[in-house]
Structure 1
Amino acid sequence: MSVTLRPMQEQDIAEGFALSQQLKWPHRREDWLQAWQHGKGMVALEGDTVIGTVLCWPWGGQLAMVGLVIVDERLQGKGIGKALMSAILSQLEGCNVRLHATEMGKGLYEKYGFTAIGMIHQHQTPFLPVLQARALPPGWHIRPATENDLPAITALDKAANGMYRPQLFADLLVSGSPEVLTDATGTIQAVAVKRHFGRGYAIGPILGYQEERVCDLVAHHLSRLAGEFVRVDCDATLPFSKWLTGCGLAVVDAPVLMVRGTPWQPEPGGPQTFGLMTQAMG
């Protein structure tokens, strides 16, 4: 069998989607397209057929995510995943690289110097129960994000996780429903994006300073999604994860957070990441 690698092109998205369907991953074609538009990838080919994929997102040049690592189930164990990882990591020299690994993939990533540093809880429900919005502190407000908010949101995101993603948040203003929580001075204290993803809706990225206030903002989104499929991916160690479970979003998977390089450390008292964009994109 002769396998070749080349950069991923938009025309490859349909075959990437088909590979993810083999694994019963929930991604839609639209989710693949959005992921590719904000990153870059490699595909493995047998003849003209895509038999493997990998994508990366060098968010700002210092920290990168790797994800959507898939090999056709008929051809696993033949070194294709290793070849794809070698190819994508060669484009990320000098970056601290982060990914979320399944148990099946963890061993491969360890061979490339990745170390497990945590766990993500994938919360979801196929039918969200009726939930009430929460009362806000006096003078605090929830409102839709606007283009004028992008610099503040981008700065909040970078302080929380080290990733510089202005183009992503500009996209989410159009493709999603980002909302911000402001304090009595009008300063943004949290942001959460509701958007179509997979089998229904995802809420993420979710960023903020105080967990209670972040719950206020997320509850605002959830109060308008009764009966819908809803998903949130968050750090397993946060009390926020238990709060989501109490809202009816069960933990259905727990991928391992792995890093090659120096793990990001947010400043004490600074903002945190409470919910991911996706497990692949961070």
Structure 2
Amino acid sequence: MAEYRAFTLDDIPAALALSASVKWRHRADDWRFAARLGRGFAAVDRDGRLVGTALAFQFGAHAATLGMFIVAPEYQRRGIGRGLLERLIATLGPRVLLIHASNEGRPLCEARGFTRIDTIHQHQGAAFQPPLVSLPPGERLRPIGAKDTPRLAELASRASGLDRTAMLPPLLDVASGIALDRDGELIGFALFRRFGDGHVIGPVIAPESPDESRAKALISYWLALNAGMFVRVDTPLRHGLSSWLEGLGLPLVDTIEQMSLNGLPLADGTLAQYALTSQALW
């Protein structure tokens, strides 16, 4: 049987080994970033060895995401995952709770009342040739400036339905950004940052459109600047970018289910989040 306690920064070396055991690409810096933004639980065996982790990330008073959910392979199917999930749910109360569940984890989430809301396609690779994507008249890409932070948080919050006010500043500290501007108004953006043994593009926020041209322009910008680097993009199935990403040389390597409990976040339908920040942070 496992014992449960609060996850702390002191657990990061053991958590890094745990994530490597399930073939996650996370660095110690990725764990530190997550642990500073979230709170959660560690499961330890009778010898005090870390055998499970789960963190929650709160977005205002009404929603939270669950992530960094791992159980050591040799300790799976012993109820540890259920114990971690139940403790997070009890801590967070009646908030809207969101999680990305693997095929192995989905039955546990369904048993606790989570329902599927979408599928995430994980694309990654290093051999890509992005096209030049034209923008509508009056729109251009420009560097993000320090004064853009409140607007970026507003757009990210509206697109996801999650209050990103507290999350965006620390994310911008570790990411580079490009803004989509229309006649002087910031209407979308995409961030690019180190993650694992490569880089991740996300979040990608842009006005909803049938051809996804703005999202493609934002993603292509980062790919063109980083040809030959290992890059990852996690995109919701409903936005239809998977075939385009595969055509650029970013093959589909994994799928995972988006699930929710206690309802859905109230997103602005005029904006879309075309790529995730991460599967833990949405």
Do both share a fold (TM > 0.5)?
Answer: yes
Aligned to 1:64: 64
Q: How does 1:99-110 map to 2 (within 5 A)?
A: 99-110=99-110
Given that residues 162 and 265 in structure 2 are in contact (C-alpha distance below 8 angstroms), is that contact kept between their aligned partners in structure 1?
no
Task: Indicate the larger mover: 7-16 or 132-141.
Answer: 132-141
Give the residue type in structure 2 aligned to 1:196.
Answer: R
The SS at the match of 1:166 is coil
Which sections of structure 2, spanning at least 5 residues, go unmatched?
none
Aligned to 1:28: 27
Aligned to 1:151: 150
| Residues 87/212 of structure 1: CA separation in 2 closer, same or farther (3 Å cut) | same
Give the residue type in structure 2 aligned to 1:192.
Answer: A
Distance in 1 between residues matched to 2:8 and 2:268, nearest whole Å: 38
1:134 equivalenced with 2:130 (yes/no): no
Given that residues 130 and 227 in structure 1 are in contact (C-alpha distance below 8 angstroms), is that contact kept between their aligned partners in structure 2?
no
Given that residues 115 and 261 in structure 2 are in contact (C-alpha distance below 8 angstroms), is that contact kept between their aligned partners in structure 1?
yes
Distance in 2 between residues matched to 1:251 and 1:280, nearest whole Å: 19
Which sections of structure 1, spanning at least 5 residues, go unmatched?
none
Aligned to 1:94: 94
Give the residue type in structure 2 aligned to 1:150.
Answer: T
How far residue 245 of structure 1 moved from its aligned partner, in angstroms, is 1.8
The SS at the match of 1:21 is helix
Distance in 2 between residues matched to 1:108 and 1:131, nearest whole Å: 39
How far residue 265 of structure 1 moved from its aligned partner, in angstroms, is 4.4
Alignment deviations for residues 193-242 of structure 1 (CA, whole Å, 9 cap, x no partner): 01111121100011110421121121111111111111000101212232
TM-score, normalization by structure 1: 0.94
Aligned to 2:51: 51
The SS at the match of 2:91 is coil
Aligned to 2:120: 120
Distance in 1 between residues matched to 2:228 and 2:105, nearest whole Å: 34
1:246 equivalenced with 2:247 (yes/no): yes
Distance in 2 between residues matched to 1:238 and 1:165, nearest whole Å: 21
Given that residues 66 and 280 in structure 1 are in contact (C-alpha distance below 8 angstroms), is that contact kept between their aligned partners in structure 2?
yes
The SS at the match of 1:120 is strand
Aligned to 1:16: 15
Distance in 2 between residues matched to 1:218 and 1:109, nearest whole Å: 32
1:191 equivalenced with 2:192 (yes/no): no
Alignment deviations for residues 77-118 of structure 1 (CA, whole Å, 9 cap, x no partner): 111111111111111112110111110011111111111121
How far residue 50 of structure 1 moved from its aligned partner, in angstroms, is 1.1
Distance in 1 between residues matched to 2:85 and 2:42, nearest whole Å: 11
Aligned to 1:84: 84
| Residues 216/76 of structure 1: CA separation in 2 closer, same or farther (3 Å cut) | same
Given that residues 42 and 54 in structure 1 are in contact (C-alpha distance below 8 angstroms), is that contact kept between their aligned partners in structure 2?
yes
- Could you say what the CA RMSD is over the residues aligned between the two structures, in angstroms? 1.5
How far residue 27 of structure 1 moved from its aligned partner, in angstroms, is 1.1
How far residue 130 of structure 1 moved from its aligned partner, in angstroms, is 3.3
Distance in 2 between residues matched to 1:241 and 1:77, nearest whole Å: 33
Alignment deviations for residues 259-280 of structure 1 (CA, whole Å, 9 cap, x no partner): 1121234333x21111101111
Distance in 2 between residues matched to 1:162 and 1:137, nearest whole Å: 26
Aligned to 2:218: 217
How far residue 139 of structure 1 moved from its aligned partner, in angstroms, is 3.4
Given that residues 44 and 84 in structure 1 are in contact (C-alpha distance below 8 angstroms), is that contact kept between their aligned partners in structure 2?
yes
Structure 1 outlier segments of 4+, above 6 Å:
none
Task: Indicate the larger mover: 93-102 or 131-140.
Answer: 131-140
